[in-house]
Amino acid sequence: QRKDIAMRSSLLHLGLLSALIFAPCVAPAAERPNVVFLLADDLGYRDIGCFGAKDIRTPAIDRLATQGVRFTQFYSNGPECSPTRTAFLTGRYQQRVGGLECAIGTGNVGRYDDAIRLRASNDLGLPVAETSLARLLKDAGYATAITGKWHLGYEDKFSPNLHGFDHALYCLGGGMDYFHHIEDSAERGHVLRLNGQPEKREGYITDMIANEAERFIAANHGRPFFLYVPFTAPHSPYQGPADRLPEALPNDSPLWAQSKAPPAVYAAMIERMDEAVGRICAALDKHGVAGRTLVVFTSDNGGTRSARPTGLRDFKGSTFEGGIRVPCLVRWPGVLPENMTTAQPAITLDLTASILKAAGAKPPEGRALDGMDILARIAYGQPDISRTLFWRGRRGEVTRRAVRDGSLKYVIQTAGGTTKIEGLFDLGSDAGEERDLRDSRPADVARLRELLAAWEKEVQPKR
């Protein structure tokens, strides 16, 4: 059946014939899909209905699962915000950029040695030289927009517009008051921007994100477009749509604490994000482009302690499964099967490769992608394959690393050069990473350590 679906697709889908070779030229505009990339912020693995949430209602997001593919072993590139966003926009491991292995601190703070060094020279962010997905799609004839959270540099030289976004409504940092758009830094900075300029608007940021997305679709439905929608929900501060106060939350409000969300407020934030997803999908229907639009929904990292229980080990910031395994849904009518669940391991930067291939675009010269065209495998019903995936996150003196090879995963955490946590796990039988196999499988430990070391050497940044 999947093969029949693929055979019925038009020249639009010739870009999926190979997961390895990019099309030599850009396809005609009418044959390429629109792309809507919906990114939640700190969403836990079981925080939506189709992944097991019982007390959070997400009918619009769940509908994407029934209309498309649900990935049960999908990973964010990093255990925090900025790293995964970097990997998505570049299609490469974020370690290659430098300084972005940790979320940029509120108020533009570097949080480990390399980030501190770059901050000192006002270089903490995603350089324009790291050609972004938006730039590549814009050059291929796409209209491009971001509406939501940027978190890839405070300085003007890192503005989304310089990265290829035609239109950009965004917040600069990691979190801000949902109503007053002020972050909890010492400066209490107002961090909402429109095309690089300070912007003051009334409204709940999740609703504003949806409003801007609807306007963009209405204005650009006659040409191929790329719409990047990085929500701030359910990242702290924990404010539901009915929680507006006359003044911005003070910095000492407990609602900024990521591990202490009131459960009902947390649910309300996700449910409002679900409504926003529903509005965006309705706009695609209204303007007659849903049938030729690739829609992705995923999260930038695992949930905080405020998330619903997952059965996975640990939380945001960790390279254990709870910090990096995230929900992922992909709908592409006529190309991907409907109501399919796959256990194929995949990672954020795989989606970048798939989007570029679908659009008939190519990565820049000398910058090979680190991901694979994962959607081609699904479209053509190819069997699951073993993957080797890597993670490293740094904050202060702590470095968290992990490598998954097949079903085996090796995790190590060090601080000041001393090993604090280490383990080998078989995710095939132990997704919760409860049974450490180091003593019984020393050869595998040695092999995975070597893989990790070789990868770290290969992805060293050049700035």
Mean pLDDT by 10 residues, the chain (463 residues): 36 32 36 96 98 98 98 98 98 98 97 98 97 97 98 98 98 97 92 97 97 98 98 98 97 96 98 99 98 98 98 98 98 98 98 98 91 97 97 98 98 96 98 98 98 98 91
287 catalytic? Reply is no
For residue 370, give the nearest of 95, 150, 128, 151 by alpha carbon: 95
Q: Which residues contact 274 (CB under 8 A, 6 or more apart)?
A: 48, 57, 58, 59, 60, 61
Bridge partners (DSSP) listed for residue 76 = none
Classify the phi-psi angles of 425: left when phi > 0, otherwise alpha if psi is within -120 to 50, otherwise beta: beta
Look up residue 222 and give its amino acid: G
End-to-end CA gap in the chain: 49
Q: Give pairs for 108-114: CB < 8 Å, separation 24+.
A: 108/154, 108/155, 108/173, 111/394, 111/395, 111/396, 112/394, 112/395, 112/396, 114/394, 114/461
DSSP class of 313: S
DSSP class of 11: G
Look up residue 290 and give its amino acid: A
Token pair 């003070």 is found at 250
DSSP-based three-state secondary structure for 267: helix
Classify the phi-psi angles of 384: left when phi > 0, otherwise alpha if psi is within -120 to 50, otherwise beta: beta
Instruction: Please give the pLDDT value at position 365.
Output: 87
| Catalytic site residue from 13, 50, 102, 151 | 151
How many angstroms separate the CA atoms of 337 and 69, rounded? 7
How many angstroms separate the CA atoms of 347 and 187, rounded? 36
Look up residue 347 and give its amino acid: I
Is pTM beyond 0.85 here? Answer: yes
What tokens does 271 get?
Answer: 């449910």
Instruction: Please give the pLDDT value at position 364.
Output: 86
Look up residue 358 and give its amino acid: A
Chain-centroid distance of CA 174 in Å reads 14
How many angstroms separate the CA atoms of 72 and 378, rounded? 13
Instruction: Please give the pLDDT value at position 15.
Output: 36
Q: Using an 8 Å Cβ cutoff, are 58 and 70 in contact? A: no
For residue 244, give the nearest of 185, 199, 203 by alpha carbon: 203
Token pair 């990242």 is found at 235
- Positive or negative: CA dihedral 138, 78, 51, 242: negative
50 catalytic? Reply is no
Reading across the β-sheet that carries 388-395, which strands appear in turn? 388-395, 398-405, 408-415, 418-426
How many angstroms separate the CA atoms of 257 and 255, rounded? 5
| Catalytic site residue from 50, 81, 171, 281 | 81
Helix (H) or strand (E) segment spanning residue 358: helix 348-359
Q: Using an 8 Å Cβ cutoff, are 118 and 109 in contact? A: no
Token pair 């995975």 is found at 448
262 burial level (CB within 10 Å; 0-12, 13-18, 19+): middle
Instruction: Please give the pLDDT value at position 99.
Output: 98
